A and B are shown apart, each in its own frame.
Chain A
Amino acid sequence: MIPSWTALSIPRVRNWGIWQPEVKQPVALLNAAQSGPSEEKLVVVIDDDEIMRLSCEQILGKVGYRVETFANGHDGIRRLKEIRPPLLVVDIKMPELDGFEVIRSVRQFDPDVAIVVITGYATIETAVDAMKAGAYDFLPKPFTPGELRMIIDRGLERWRLIKEAQRLRHEKEEVERRFITLVSHQLKSPLVAVKQYLDVMLYSLQGQLPEKAVEWVGRSQVRLGEMLTLIQDWLALSKIERGSWCDPAASTSLAPIVADIVQDQRQLPLAAALTIEVALAADLPPVCGDRVSLSMLVSNLVGNAIKYNRPGGSVSISSTHEDGWVKLVVRDTGIGIPQEYIPRLFQEFFRIKTEETQDIPGTGLGLVICKKIVTELGGSIEVSSQEGLGTTFLVHLPVAEMKKEAG
Protein backbone atom coordinates (compact mmCIF):
# COMPACT_ATOMS: atom_id res chain seq x y z
CA MET A 1 0.00 0.00 0.00
CA ILE A 2 1.24 3.47 -0.81
CA PRO A 3 1.85 5.33 2.40
CA SER A 4 -0.32 8.35 2.79
CA TRP A 5 2.11 11.14 3.58
CA THR A 6 -0.64 13.53 4.48
CA ALA A 7 -1.71 11.21 7.26
CA LEU A 8 1.64 11.63 8.98
CA SER A 9 1.55 14.17 11.69
CA ILE A 10 3.48 17.05 10.24
CA PRO A 11 3.73 19.93 12.65
CA ARG A 12 2.13 23.04 11.28
CA VAL A 13 4.43 25.85 10.37
CA ARG A 14 4.99 27.58 13.64
CA ASN A 15 5.86 31.11 14.37
CA TRP A 16 9.24 30.53 15.98
CA GLY A 17 9.02 33.84 17.69
CA ILE A 18 12.54 34.75 16.70
CA TRP A 19 13.18 38.26 15.71
CA GLN A 20 14.12 38.46 12.08
CA PRO A 21 16.25 41.31 10.93
CA GLU A 22 14.70 43.09 8.01
CA VAL A 23 16.31 42.22 4.71
CA LYS A 24 16.90 45.69 3.44
CA GLN A 25 18.37 46.74 0.16
CA PRO A 26 21.50 48.66 1.08
CA VAL A 27 20.97 52.36 0.69
CA ALA A 28 22.94 53.61 -2.29
CA LEU A 29 25.88 55.31 -0.64
CA LEU A 30 26.79 57.32 -3.69
CA ASN A 31 24.62 59.66 -5.67
CA ALA A 32 26.47 59.33 -8.94
CA ALA A 33 24.53 58.81 -12.17
CA GLN A 34 22.98 55.38 -12.36
CA SER A 35 24.40 52.90 -14.79
CA GLY A 36 22.23 50.88 -17.13
CA PRO A 37 19.25 52.02 -19.18
CA SER A 38 18.78 55.69 -18.51
CA GLU A 39 16.05 57.28 -20.53
CA GLU A 40 12.90 55.29 -21.07
CA LYS A 41 11.25 56.85 -24.11
CA LEU A 42 14.34 56.77 -26.27
CA VAL A 43 14.46 55.34 -29.80
CA VAL A 44 17.55 54.79 -31.91
CA VAL A 45 16.88 54.76 -35.64
CA ILE A 46 19.46 53.30 -38.03
CA ASP A 47 18.62 53.90 -41.68
CA ASP A 48 20.74 55.06 -44.64
CA ASP A 49 17.72 56.90 -46.09
CA GLU A 50 17.67 60.48 -44.77
CA ILE A 51 13.96 61.00 -45.44
CA MET A 52 13.13 57.90 -43.43
CA ARG A 53 15.30 59.13 -40.50
CA LEU A 54 13.63 62.55 -40.53
CA SER A 55 10.11 61.15 -40.68
CA CYS A 56 10.75 58.71 -37.80
CA GLU A 57 12.10 61.62 -35.77
CA GLN A 58 9.04 63.70 -36.51
CA ILE A 59 6.38 61.05 -36.05
CA LEU A 60 7.79 59.73 -32.77
CA GLY A 61 8.94 63.14 -31.48
CA LYS A 62 5.34 64.34 -31.55
CA VAL A 63 4.27 61.67 -29.04
CA GLY A 64 7.08 62.30 -26.57
CA TYR A 65 9.87 59.99 -27.79
CA ARG A 66 13.43 61.21 -27.98
CA VAL A 67 14.88 59.96 -31.25
CA GLU A 68 18.55 59.58 -32.16
CA THR A 69 19.26 58.73 -35.79
CA PHE A 70 22.27 57.18 -37.49
CA ALA A 71 22.98 56.73 -41.18
CA ASN A 72 25.03 53.54 -40.79
CA GLY A 73 25.20 50.48 -38.59
CA HIS A 74 28.67 51.10 -37.11
CA ASP A 75 27.80 54.50 -35.63
CA GLY A 76 24.42 53.25 -34.44
CA ILE A 77 25.88 50.20 -32.67
CA ARG A 78 28.55 52.32 -30.97
CA ARG A 79 25.84 54.62 -29.60
CA LEU A 80 23.60 51.71 -28.56
CA LYS A 81 26.42 50.36 -26.41
CA GLU A 82 26.64 53.70 -24.63
CA ILE A 83 22.99 54.50 -24.00
CA ARG A 84 21.23 51.10 -24.05
CA PRO A 85 17.84 52.43 -25.21
CA PRO A 86 14.64 50.38 -24.94
CA LEU A 87 13.96 50.63 -28.66
CA LEU A 88 15.83 50.25 -31.94
CA VAL A 89 14.40 50.81 -35.41
CA VAL A 90 16.63 49.43 -38.14
CA ASP A 91 16.42 49.26 -41.91
CA ILE A 92 17.26 45.93 -43.49
CA LYS A 93 18.85 47.04 -46.72
CA MET A 94 21.82 49.29 -46.05
CA PRO A 95 25.11 49.55 -47.96
CA GLU A 96 27.79 48.84 -45.33
CA LEU A 97 26.34 46.78 -42.52
CA ASP A 98 22.88 45.43 -43.33
CA GLY A 99 20.01 45.19 -40.83
CA PHE A 100 20.55 41.51 -40.08
CA GLU A 101 24.18 42.13 -39.16
CA VAL A 102 23.18 45.06 -36.96
CA ILE A 103 20.59 42.93 -35.14
CA ARG A 104 23.03 40.09 -34.57
CA SER A 105 25.76 42.30 -33.14
CA VAL A 106 23.31 44.26 -30.95
CA ARG A 107 21.92 41.02 -29.53
CA GLN A 108 25.41 40.09 -28.37
CA PHE A 109 25.49 42.91 -25.83
CA ASP A 110 21.82 43.74 -25.31
CA PRO A 111 19.35 40.85 -25.23
CA ASP A 112 16.44 43.08 -24.19
CA VAL A 113 16.18 46.08 -26.53
CA ALA A 114 13.01 45.82 -28.65
CA ILE A 115 14.13 45.83 -32.28
CA VAL A 116 11.70 46.87 -35.02
CA VAL A 117 12.76 46.14 -38.58
CA ILE A 118 11.59 48.35 -41.44
CA THR A 119 12.01 47.40 -45.05
CA GLY A 120 10.81 48.20 -48.52
CA TYR A 121 11.31 44.57 -49.53
CA ALA A 122 8.59 43.10 -47.42
CA THR A 123 8.46 39.38 -47.97
CA ILE A 124 7.52 36.67 -45.53
CA GLU A 125 11.10 35.35 -45.81
CA THR A 126 12.73 38.65 -44.78
CA ALA A 127 10.29 38.97 -41.89
CA VAL A 128 11.03 35.45 -40.68
CA ASP A 129 14.78 35.97 -41.07
CA ALA A 130 14.64 39.22 -39.11
CA MET A 131 12.71 37.54 -36.29
CA LYS A 132 15.17 34.67 -36.25
CA ALA A 133 18.05 37.11 -35.97
CA GLY A 134 16.37 38.61 -32.89
CA ALA A 135 13.97 41.33 -34.09
CA TYR A 136 10.80 41.90 -32.09
CA ASP A 137 8.56 43.23 -34.88
CA PHE A 138 8.51 44.04 -38.54
CA LEU A 139 7.10 47.06 -40.41
CA PRO A 140 6.88 47.13 -44.23
CA LYS A 141 7.41 50.47 -46.06
CA PRO A 142 5.49 52.55 -46.77
CA PHE A 143 3.79 52.86 -43.39
CA THR A 144 1.49 55.42 -41.83
CA PRO A 145 2.53 57.48 -38.78
CA GLY A 146 -0.12 55.63 -36.77
CA GLU A 147 1.34 52.23 -37.67
CA LEU A 148 4.84 53.28 -36.61
CA ARG A 149 3.62 54.73 -33.30
CA MET A 150 1.56 51.67 -32.50
CA ILE A 151 4.44 49.28 -33.13
CA ILE A 152 6.89 51.47 -31.14
CA ASP A 153 4.48 51.83 -28.18
CA ARG A 154 4.03 48.07 -28.12
CA GLY A 155 7.81 47.55 -28.26
CA LEU A 156 8.32 49.90 -25.33
CA GLU A 157 5.65 48.11 -23.33
CA ARG A 158 7.37 44.79 -23.98
CA TRP A 159 10.74 46.18 -22.94
CA ARG A 160 9.23 47.51 -19.70
CA LEU A 161 7.71 44.10 -18.92
CA ILE A 162 11.05 42.37 -19.52
CA LYS A 163 12.83 44.83 -17.22
CA GLU A 164 10.17 44.51 -14.53
CA ALA A 165 10.36 40.70 -14.65
CA GLN A 166 14.16 40.84 -14.42
CA ARG A 167 14.00 43.17 -11.44
CA LEU A 168 11.54 40.93 -9.59
CA ARG A 169 13.53 37.80 -10.33
CA HIS A 170 16.72 39.45 -9.14
CA GLU A 171 15.06 40.72 -5.96
CA LYS A 172 13.66 37.29 -5.17
CA GLU A 173 17.04 35.60 -5.61
CA GLU A 174 18.70 38.26 -3.51
CA VAL A 175 16.21 37.85 -0.66
CA GLU A 176 16.57 34.04 -0.73
CA ARG A 177 20.33 34.24 -0.79
CA ARG A 178 20.46 36.64 2.11
CA PHE A 179 17.86 34.61 3.99
CA ILE A 180 20.33 31.71 4.26
CA THR A 181 22.92 34.08 5.67
CA LEU A 182 20.45 35.51 8.17
CA VAL A 183 19.24 32.10 9.33
CA SER A 184 22.80 31.08 10.08
CA HIS A 185 23.33 34.39 11.86
CA GLN A 186 20.27 33.68 14.03
CA LEU A 187 21.54 30.17 14.79
CA LYS A 188 24.99 31.41 15.66
CA SER A 189 24.09 34.43 17.80
CA PRO A 190 23.00 32.54 20.96
CA LEU A 191 26.01 30.22 20.72
CA VAL A 192 28.36 33.15 20.29
CA ALA A 193 26.84 34.87 23.32
CA VAL A 194 27.28 31.74 25.47
CA LYS A 195 30.80 31.09 24.25
CA GLN A 196 31.72 34.70 24.91
CA TYR A 197 30.52 34.44 28.55
CA LEU A 198 32.63 31.32 29.03
CA ASP A 199 35.67 32.96 27.45
CA VAL A 200 35.26 36.03 29.64
CA MET A 201 34.77 33.87 32.72
CA LEU A 202 37.97 31.92 32.10
CA TYR A 203 39.85 35.09 31.27
CA SER A 204 38.73 37.30 34.13
CA LEU A 205 38.62 34.59 36.83
CA GLN A 206 41.99 33.09 35.96
CA GLY A 207 43.28 31.07 38.89
CA GLN A 208 40.11 31.52 40.93
CA LEU A 209 38.06 28.66 39.46
CA PRO A 210 38.31 25.08 40.70
CA GLU A 211 40.18 22.77 38.34
CA LYS A 212 37.03 20.80 37.50
CA ALA A 213 35.17 23.98 36.53
CA VAL A 214 37.98 25.02 34.18
CA GLU A 215 37.89 21.57 32.59
CA TRP A 216 34.11 21.60 32.11
CA VAL A 217 34.06 25.12 30.76
CA GLY A 218 36.78 24.04 28.35
CA ARG A 219 34.68 21.06 27.21
CA SER A 220 31.64 23.31 26.80
CA GLN A 221 33.68 25.59 24.58
CA VAL A 222 34.80 22.68 22.44
CA ARG A 223 31.18 21.55 21.97
CA LEU A 224 30.02 25.07 21.16
CA GLY A 225 32.88 25.32 18.67
CA GLU A 226 31.63 22.13 16.99
CA MET A 227 28.16 23.60 16.66
CA LEU A 228 29.53 26.84 15.21
CA THR A 229 31.57 24.86 12.67
CA LEU A 230 28.49 22.86 11.76
CA ILE A 231 26.53 26.03 11.07
CA GLN A 232 29.44 27.39 9.05
CA ASP A 233 29.56 24.21 6.96
CA TRP A 234 25.80 24.19 6.50
CA LEU A 235 25.92 27.80 5.34
CA ALA A 236 28.67 26.98 2.85
CA LEU A 237 26.77 23.94 1.59
CA SER A 238 23.53 25.92 1.14
CA LYS A 239 25.37 28.59 -0.77
CA ILE A 240 27.15 26.07 -2.99
CA GLU A 241 23.83 24.38 -3.74
CA ARG A 242 22.26 27.69 -4.67
CA GLY A 243 25.16 28.36 -7.00
CA SER A 244 26.16 31.51 -5.15
CA TRP A 245 29.47 30.27 -3.76
CA CYS A 246 31.74 28.90 -6.47
CA ASP A 247 32.90 30.93 -9.42
CA PRO A 248 34.11 28.56 -12.16
CA ALA A 249 34.94 31.56 -14.37
CA ALA A 250 37.67 32.76 -12.02
CA SER A 251 41.21 31.48 -12.40
CA THR A 252 43.34 30.79 -9.35
CA SER A 253 46.78 29.33 -8.61
CA LEU A 254 46.77 26.41 -6.20
CA ALA A 255 50.33 26.92 -4.89
CA PRO A 256 49.72 29.90 -2.55
CA ILE A 257 46.46 28.33 -1.31
CA VAL A 258 48.18 25.06 -0.46
CA ALA A 259 51.04 26.92 1.24
CA ASP A 260 48.66 29.02 3.40
CA ILE A 261 46.56 26.04 4.40
CA VAL A 262 49.49 23.81 5.24
CA GLN A 263 50.92 26.59 7.39
CA ASP A 264 47.57 27.00 9.20
CA GLN A 265 46.97 23.31 9.70
CA ARG A 266 50.41 22.64 11.09
CA GLN A 267 48.97 24.31 14.20
CA LEU A 268 46.53 21.41 14.74
CA PRO A 269 47.55 19.37 17.81
CA LEU A 270 48.00 16.12 15.87
CA ALA A 271 50.04 17.82 13.12
CA ALA A 272 53.02 18.23 15.47
CA ALA A 273 53.69 14.49 15.30
CA LEU A 274 53.36 14.27 11.50
CA THR A 275 55.55 14.86 8.47
CA ILE A 276 53.78 17.12 5.99
CA GLU A 277 55.27 17.29 2.51
CA VAL A 278 54.22 19.57 -0.31
CA ALA A 279 55.35 18.84 -3.85
CA LEU A 280 53.63 20.94 -6.49
CA ALA A 281 54.90 21.03 -10.07
CA ALA A 282 56.79 24.31 -10.57
CA ASP A 283 54.88 25.16 -13.77
CA LEU A 284 51.41 24.41 -12.41
CA PRO A 285 48.89 26.50 -14.40
CA PRO A 286 45.98 28.25 -12.62
CA VAL A 287 42.77 26.23 -12.32
CA CYS A 288 39.14 27.20 -12.81
CA GLY A 289 37.64 28.46 -9.57
CA ASP A 290 37.72 31.22 -6.99
CA ARG A 291 40.09 31.43 -4.06
CA VAL A 292 37.42 30.91 -1.39
CA SER A 293 36.04 27.65 -2.83
CA LEU A 294 39.45 26.22 -3.62
CA SER A 295 40.72 27.09 -0.13
CA MET A 296 37.75 25.34 1.40
CA LEU A 297 38.39 22.26 -0.76
CA VAL A 298 42.11 22.02 0.02
CA SER A 299 41.54 22.85 3.68
CA ASN A 300 39.03 20.01 4.10
CA LEU A 301 41.23 17.45 2.36
CA VAL A 302 44.42 18.41 4.20
CA GLY A 303 42.50 18.70 7.48
CA ASN A 304 41.15 15.15 7.07
CA ALA A 305 44.61 13.81 6.20
CA ILE A 306 45.91 15.27 9.47
CA LYS A 307 42.92 14.39 11.66
CA TYR A 308 42.65 10.77 10.56
CA ASN A 309 46.36 10.17 10.88
CA ARG A 310 48.55 8.62 13.57
CA PRO A 311 51.56 9.96 15.45
CA GLY A 312 54.66 9.49 13.26
CA GLY A 313 52.56 9.31 10.10
CA SER A 314 52.84 11.50 7.04
CA VAL A 315 50.72 13.67 4.76
CA SER A 316 51.77 14.49 1.23
CA ILE A 317 50.19 17.03 -1.06
CA SER A 318 51.31 16.87 -4.66
CA SER A 319 50.10 18.27 -7.92
CA THR A 320 50.85 17.84 -11.59
CA HIS A 321 49.12 18.82 -14.82
CA GLU A 322 48.39 17.11 -18.10
CA ASP A 323 46.06 17.67 -21.06
CA GLY A 324 44.25 20.67 -19.60
CA TRP A 325 43.73 19.14 -16.17
CA VAL A 326 45.45 19.78 -12.87
CA LYS A 327 45.69 16.69 -10.70
CA LEU A 328 45.86 17.33 -6.95
CA VAL A 329 46.71 14.37 -4.73
CA VAL A 330 46.35 14.43 -0.94
CA ARG A 331 47.77 11.24 0.52
CA ASP A 332 48.02 10.21 4.14
CA THR A 333 49.40 7.23 6.05
CA GLY A 334 46.54 7.36 8.52
CA ILE A 335 43.93 4.96 9.78
CA GLY A 336 42.36 4.38 6.35
CA ILE A 337 38.73 3.70 5.46
CA PRO A 338 37.08 0.26 5.42
CA GLN A 339 36.07 -0.60 1.83
CA GLU A 340 32.37 -0.93 2.64
CA TYR A 341 32.21 2.73 3.76
CA ILE A 342 33.89 4.26 0.73
CA PRO A 343 30.67 4.59 -1.33
CA ARG A 344 29.06 6.54 1.54
CA LEU A 345 31.89 9.01 2.12
CA PHE A 346 30.27 11.79 0.14
CA GLN A 347 26.88 11.50 1.88
CA GLU A 348 25.69 14.23 4.21
CA PHE A 349 26.49 13.62 7.88
CA PHE A 350 28.08 10.25 7.22
CA ARG A 351 30.92 9.60 9.65
CA ILE A 352 32.71 6.37 10.40
CA LYS A 353 32.26 5.53 14.04
CA THR A 354 35.01 3.34 15.45
CA GLU A 355 37.12 3.46 18.55
CA GLU A 356 39.82 5.23 16.56
CA THR A 357 37.56 7.94 15.15
CA GLN A 358 35.29 8.65 18.10
CA ASP A 359 37.38 11.51 19.47
CA ILE A 360 38.05 13.15 16.11
CA PRO A 361 35.90 16.23 15.65
CA GLY A 362 33.99 16.70 12.39
CA THR A 363 30.63 17.76 11.04
CA GLY A 364 30.10 15.04 8.47
CA LEU A 365 29.80 17.74 5.82
CA GLY A 366 33.43 18.30 4.83
CA LEU A 367 33.63 15.79 1.99
CA VAL A 368 30.12 16.67 0.81
CA ILE A 369 31.31 20.26 0.46
CA CYS A 370 34.47 19.09 -1.35
CA LYS A 371 32.48 17.03 -3.83
CA LYS A 372 30.03 19.87 -4.54
CA ILE A 373 32.80 22.43 -5.01
CA VAL A 374 34.70 20.15 -7.38
CA THR A 375 31.52 19.42 -9.36
CA GLU A 376 30.63 23.13 -9.60
CA LEU A 377 34.11 23.86 -10.89
CA GLY A 378 33.82 21.19 -13.58
CA GLY A 379 36.21 18.69 -12.02
CA SER A 380 36.07 15.33 -10.27
CA ILE A 381 37.14 13.77 -6.98
CA GLU A 382 38.09 10.14 -6.26
CA VAL A 383 39.19 8.30 -3.19
CA SER A 384 41.20 5.16 -2.63
CA SER A 385 42.02 3.74 0.75
CA GLN A 386 43.35 0.76 2.59
CA GLU A 387 42.19 0.20 6.09
CA GLY A 388 45.07 0.65 8.49
CA LEU A 389 47.45 1.99 5.84
CA GLY A 390 46.07 5.30 4.65
CA THR A 391 43.87 7.20 2.26
CA THR A 392 44.45 9.08 -0.99
CA PHE A 393 42.15 11.74 -2.41
CA LEU A 394 42.61 12.54 -6.07
CA VAL A 395 41.08 15.74 -7.44
CA HIS A 396 41.00 16.74 -11.11
CA LEU A 397 40.38 20.40 -11.86
CA PRO A 398 40.21 22.00 -15.33
CA VAL A 399 43.08 24.35 -16.19
CA ALA A 400 41.76 27.90 -16.43
CA GLU A 401 43.18 28.92 -19.83
CA MET A 402 41.75 25.86 -21.55
CA LYS A 403 38.25 26.90 -20.61
CA LYS A 404 38.81 30.45 -21.81
CA GLU A 405 39.92 29.16 -25.20
CA ALA A 406 36.94 26.88 -25.45
CA GLY A 407 34.54 29.70 -24.50
Chain B
Amino acid sequence: MGGTGARILIVDDDADFRASLTAVLECDGYHVFAAASAHEGLAKIAVAPPDLIILDVIMEYDCAGYEVNQAVKFREEYALVRNIPILMVSSIQLDPTTLYSRAAEVEMITPDAYLTKPLDIPVLLKRVRDLLAAQQQQTYAQGLLPAP
Protein backbone atom coordinates (compact mmCIF):
# COMPACT_ATOMS: atom_id res chain seq x y z
CA MET B 1 0.00 0.00 0.00
CA GLY B 2 1.53 3.27 -1.09
CA GLY B 3 -0.81 5.63 0.73
CA THR B 4 0.50 7.53 3.70
CA GLY B 5 -2.90 8.44 5.06
CA ALA B 6 -2.94 11.52 2.83
CA ARG B 7 -6.40 13.05 2.27
CA ILE B 8 -7.67 13.11 -1.29
CA LEU B 9 -10.72 15.02 -2.53
CA ILE B 10 -12.45 13.72 -5.66
CA VAL B 11 -14.54 16.36 -7.47
CA ASP B 12 -16.61 14.57 -10.12
CA ASP B 13 -20.32 14.58 -10.99
CA ASP B 14 -20.43 10.87 -11.91
CA ALA B 15 -21.36 8.87 -8.80
CA ASP B 16 -20.03 5.59 -10.21
CA PHE B 17 -16.74 7.13 -11.15
CA ARG B 18 -16.43 8.53 -7.62
CA ALA B 19 -17.29 5.15 -6.11
CA SER B 20 -14.74 3.11 -8.08
CA LEU B 21 -12.01 5.71 -7.71
CA THR B 22 -12.66 5.94 -3.97
CA ALA B 23 -12.39 2.16 -3.66
CA VAL B 24 -9.05 1.96 -5.42
CA LEU B 25 -7.55 4.92 -3.55
CA GLU B 26 -8.74 3.60 -0.18
CA CYS B 27 -7.31 0.23 -1.11
CA ASP B 28 -4.00 2.05 -1.55
CA GLY B 29 -4.20 3.58 1.92
CA TYR B 30 -5.59 7.09 1.33
CA HIS B 31 -8.41 8.89 3.11
CA VAL B 32 -10.89 9.81 0.39
CA PHE B 33 -13.80 12.23 0.40
CA ALA B 34 -15.79 13.46 -2.55
CA ALA B 35 -17.82 16.31 -4.02
CA ALA B 36 -20.38 15.99 -6.82
CA SER B 37 -19.97 19.45 -8.36
CA ALA B 38 -17.47 22.26 -8.78
CA HIS B 39 -19.49 24.31 -6.32
CA GLU B 40 -19.48 21.62 -3.64
CA GLY B 41 -15.82 20.93 -4.37
CA LEU B 42 -14.75 24.52 -3.72
CA ALA B 43 -16.75 24.56 -0.49
CA LYS B 44 -15.04 21.39 0.73
CA ILE B 45 -11.60 22.64 -0.28
CA ALA B 46 -12.15 25.78 1.78
CA VAL B 47 -13.56 24.00 4.87
CA ALA B 48 -11.26 20.98 5.04
CA PRO B 49 -8.29 21.39 2.69
CA PRO B 50 -7.18 18.02 1.27
CA ASP B 51 -3.60 17.04 0.38
CA LEU B 52 -4.55 16.41 -3.25
CA ILE B 53 -7.54 17.18 -5.51
CA ILE B 54 -8.68 14.89 -8.32
CA LEU B 55 -10.79 17.14 -10.52
CA ASP B 56 -13.21 16.40 -13.37
CA VAL B 57 -13.71 19.06 -16.08
CA ILE B 58 -17.27 18.83 -17.45
CA MET B 59 -19.67 18.95 -14.49
CA GLU B 60 -22.58 21.36 -13.92
CA TYR B 61 -21.35 23.26 -16.96
CA ASP B 62 -18.69 22.42 -19.49
CA CYS B 63 -15.77 24.30 -18.02
CA ALA B 64 -16.61 23.95 -14.32
CA GLY B 65 -13.41 22.06 -13.50
CA TYR B 66 -11.27 24.70 -15.15
CA GLU B 67 -12.84 27.32 -12.95
CA VAL B 68 -12.10 25.29 -9.81
CA ASN B 69 -8.45 25.09 -10.89
CA GLN B 70 -8.36 28.83 -11.53
CA ALA B 71 -9.98 29.58 -8.17
CA VAL B 72 -7.58 27.43 -6.15
CA LYS B 73 -4.46 28.53 -7.99
CA PHE B 74 -5.19 32.20 -8.52
CA ARG B 75 -8.08 33.62 -6.50
CA GLU B 76 -7.31 35.59 -3.37
CA GLU B 77 -9.86 33.75 -1.19
CA TYR B 78 -8.01 30.48 -1.77
CA ALA B 79 -4.51 31.77 -0.94
CA LEU B 80 -4.20 29.28 1.94
CA VAL B 81 -4.88 26.24 -0.24
CA ARG B 82 -2.85 27.49 -3.20
CA ASN B 83 -0.27 24.70 -3.00
CA ILE B 84 -2.63 21.73 -3.04
CA PRO B 85 -1.72 19.72 -6.15
CA ILE B 86 -4.55 19.26 -8.67
CA LEU B 87 -4.81 16.18 -10.88
CA MET B 88 -7.34 16.90 -13.64
CA VAL B 89 -9.20 13.98 -15.25
CA SER B 90 -11.57 14.06 -18.23
CA SER B 91 -12.89 11.76 -20.91
CA ILE B 92 -12.79 14.59 -23.44
CA GLN B 93 -9.77 16.61 -24.32
CA LEU B 94 -11.36 20.04 -24.50
CA ASP B 95 -8.86 22.32 -26.11
CA PRO B 96 -8.55 25.13 -23.57
CA THR B 97 -7.33 27.56 -26.20
CA THR B 98 -10.73 27.51 -27.90
CA LEU B 99 -12.49 28.30 -24.63
CA TYR B 100 -10.05 30.85 -23.35
CA SER B 101 -8.49 33.14 -25.89
CA ARG B 102 -5.65 34.52 -23.84
CA ALA B 103 -2.44 32.71 -22.87
CA ALA B 104 -2.67 34.04 -19.30
CA GLU B 105 -6.14 32.50 -18.95
CA VAL B 106 -4.98 29.15 -20.34
CA GLU B 107 -2.22 29.17 -17.75
CA MET B 108 -4.78 29.74 -14.99
CA ILE B 109 -6.74 26.65 -15.90
CA THR B 110 -3.70 24.42 -16.42
CA PRO B 111 -3.55 21.82 -13.63
CA ASP B 112 -0.46 20.28 -12.03
CA ALA B 113 -1.17 17.02 -13.85
CA TYR B 114 -3.70 15.68 -16.33
CA LEU B 115 -4.97 12.15 -17.08
CA THR B 116 -7.56 10.91 -19.57
CA LYS B 117 -10.53 8.79 -18.44
CA PRO B 118 -10.84 5.85 -18.17
CA LEU B 119 -7.86 5.97 -15.87
CA ASP B 120 -5.13 3.38 -16.08
CA ILE B 121 -4.98 2.43 -12.41
CA PRO B 122 -1.24 1.82 -11.93
CA VAL B 123 -0.56 5.09 -13.82
CA LEU B 124 -3.09 6.93 -11.64
CA LEU B 125 -1.63 5.62 -8.37
CA LYS B 126 1.89 6.49 -9.43
CA ARG B 127 0.85 10.00 -10.43
CA VAL B 128 -0.95 10.51 -7.10
CA ARG B 129 2.13 9.32 -5.18
CA ASP B 130 4.45 11.57 -7.23
CA LEU B 131 2.28 14.65 -6.78
CA LEU B 132 2.03 14.09 -3.02
CA ALA B 133 5.77 13.47 -2.72
CA ALA B 134 6.61 16.63 -4.69
CA GLN B 135 4.21 18.60 -2.51
CA GLN B 136 5.81 17.25 0.68
CA GLN B 137 9.27 18.06 -0.65
CA GLN B 138 8.15 21.63 -1.24
CA THR B 139 6.75 21.89 2.28
CA TYR B 140 10.06 20.74 3.79
CA ALA B 141 11.94 23.15 1.54
CA GLN B 142 9.84 26.02 2.86
CA GLY B 143 10.67 24.95 6.41
CA LEU B 144 6.98 24.57 7.29
CA LEU B 145 7.59 21.04 8.52
CA PRO B 146 10.78 19.48 9.86
CA ALA B 147 12.31 17.09 7.33
CA PRO B 148 11.99 13.44 8.33
Chain A residues with CB under 8 Å of chain B are 21-24, 26-30, 177-178, 181-182, 184-185, 188-189, 191-197, 199-200, 203-204, 228, 235
Question: With a CB–CB cut-off of 8 A, which chain B residues contact A29?
Answer: 70, 74, 100, 104-105, 108-109
Would you list 28 pairs from A and B whose C-beta atoms are within 8 A, ordered by A residue? A21-B58, A21-B59, A21-B61, A21-B62, A23-B61, A26-B66, A27-B67, A29-B70, A29-B108, A29-B109, A30-B102, A177-B98, A181-B92, A185-B58, A185-B62, A185-B92, A188-B117, A191-B118, A193-B14, A196-B16, A196-B17, A197-B20, A199-B20, A199-B119, A200-B24, A203-B27, A203-B122, A204-B27
Q: Mark B81-120, 1 if CB is under 8 A from A, else 0.
A: 0000000000110100011101011001100000001111
Question: Is the beta-carbon distance between A192 and B117 smaller than 8 angstroms?
Answer: yes
Instruction: Verify B117–A196 contact, CB threshold 8 A.
Output: yes
User: Known: A24-B61, A199-B119. Is A204-B24 also a contact (CB below 8 A)?
Assistant: yes
B121 part of interface (Cβ distance < 8 Å) = yes
Docked complex Cα distance between A192 and B63 (Å): 19
For chain B, the bracket of interface size reads: 35 or more
Q: A29-B70, A192-B17, A197-B20 are in contact. List 9 more A-B contacts (CB 8 A).
A: A26-B99, A27-B67, A30-B104, A181-B94, A192-B91, A192-B118, A196-B20, A203-B122, A235-B92
Bound CA–CA A30/B103 (angstroms)? 11
Question: Known interface pairs A192-B118, A193-B17, A199-B119. Does A24 touch B63 (Cβ–Cβ under 8 Å)?
Answer: yes
Is B58's CB under 8 angstroms from A182's CB? Answer: yes
- Taking the closest CB of chain A, its distance from the CB of B2, in whole angstroms, is 13
A to B contact number (C-beta, < 8 Å): 88
Residues of A within 8 A of B133 (CB): none
Nearest residue in A to B99 (C-beta to C-beta)?
A26
**A26-B66, A199-B118, A199-B119 known; A193-B61 Cβ under 8 A:** no
B21 within 8 A of A: yes
Note all chain A residues with C-beta closer than 8 A to B59: 21
Q: Which of B14, B24, B108 contacts A203 (CB 8 A)?
A: B24
A24 to B58, CA, bound (A): 11
State the CA gap A228–B92 with chains docked (Å): 11
- Nearest CB of A to B41, in Å: 15
Instruction: Give the residues in chain B near A23, CB-CB below 8 Å.
Output: 61-62
The chain B residue sitting closest to A203, CB to CB, is B121
Q: Check B23 for interface membership: any CB of A closer than 8 A.
A: yes
Q: Which residue of B lies closest to A27 (CB)?
A: B67
Judge whether B60 is part of the interface by a CB distance below 8 angstroms.
yes
What are the residues of chain A within 8 A of B17 when measuring CB–CB? 192-193, 196
Specify which of A27, A178, A196 is in contact with B119 (CB 8 Å cutoff).
Answer: A196
CA distance A184 to B117 in the complex (A): 13
| Distance, CA A177 to CA B94, complexed state (A) | 11
Give the residues in chain A near B108, CB-CB below 8 Å.
29
